[in-house]
């Protein structure tokens, strides 16, 4: 057999083997593995795998624990500002404003948000928490810090005709601890807290 013919046969064999391996790994990593992981997640963590959906007492889906919602009424706790395109907390356009701390537009945004908070609660003398005037990197943050929650207690209590201690106790009861006790900060899910508020009255 001539060397040229031998090389051609070897190349064809190598090509067949390469394509076979490619097909095998496409099936393994692109089909079987995702199906296995998705199936296990649905069995072990069904609520999380289904989108961590929060339902009203009558069973209607009103949101997800992992995606914020815009609350503008003074009787509700407000979440962290969202800079997503189209509308606040737009999951299809997750992202930040990408404005630098030196950008005057960011300073104007922060000033405007502070003015809104002060207008809604002019008697509040507490310092404004930073997460109430700056957007998160995703624009979808469903949680606020404890400082941001407690800052709003006076406004929510006054609007709803509740005592500040009652509203403060509701906030405290909804505190989510850091993951494994060390990862992240204590936080409050805004939607869950507002649902709890509505159940009180």
Binning the chain into helix, strand and coil, the percentages to the nearest 5 are 50, 10, 40
Tens digits of residue pLDDT in 76-102: 999 999 988 888 888 888 888 888 888
| pLDDT reported for residue 126 | 93
> Is the whole-model pTM more than 0.95?
no
The most confident of the ranges 37-41, 72-76, 93-97 is 72-76
Helix 153-160 vs helix 164-173: angle between axes, to the nearest 10 degrees? 120
Strands, E, within 77-126: which ranges? none
Q: Averaged over 94-118, what is the pLDDT?
A: 89
């Amino acid at each position: 057999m001539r060397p040229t013919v031998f090389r051609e046969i070897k190349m064809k064999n190598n090509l067949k083997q390469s394509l076979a391996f490619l097909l095998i790994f496409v099936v393994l990593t692109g089909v079987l593995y995702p199906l296995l992981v998705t199936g296990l997640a649905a069995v072990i963590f069904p609520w999380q795998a289904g989108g961590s959906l929060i339902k009203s007492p009558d069973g209607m889906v009103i949101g997800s624990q992992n995606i914020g919602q815009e609350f503008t009424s003074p009787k509700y706790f407000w979440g962290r500002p969202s800079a997503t395109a189209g509308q606040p907390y737009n999951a299809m356009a997750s992202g930040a404003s990408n404005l630098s701390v030196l950008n005057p537009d960011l300073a104007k945004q922060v000033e405007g948000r502070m003015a809104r908070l002060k207008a809604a609660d002019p008697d509040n003398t507490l310092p404004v928490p930073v997460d109430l005037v700056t957007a998160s990197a995703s624009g979808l943050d469903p949680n606020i810090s404890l400082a941001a929650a407690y800052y709003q207690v006076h406004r929510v209590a006054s609007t709803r005709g509740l005592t500040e201690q009652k509203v403060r106790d509701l906030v405290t009861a909804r505190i989510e601890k850091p993951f494994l006790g060390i990862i992240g900060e204590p936080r409050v899910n805004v939607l869950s807290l507002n649902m709890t508020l509505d159940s009180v009255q």
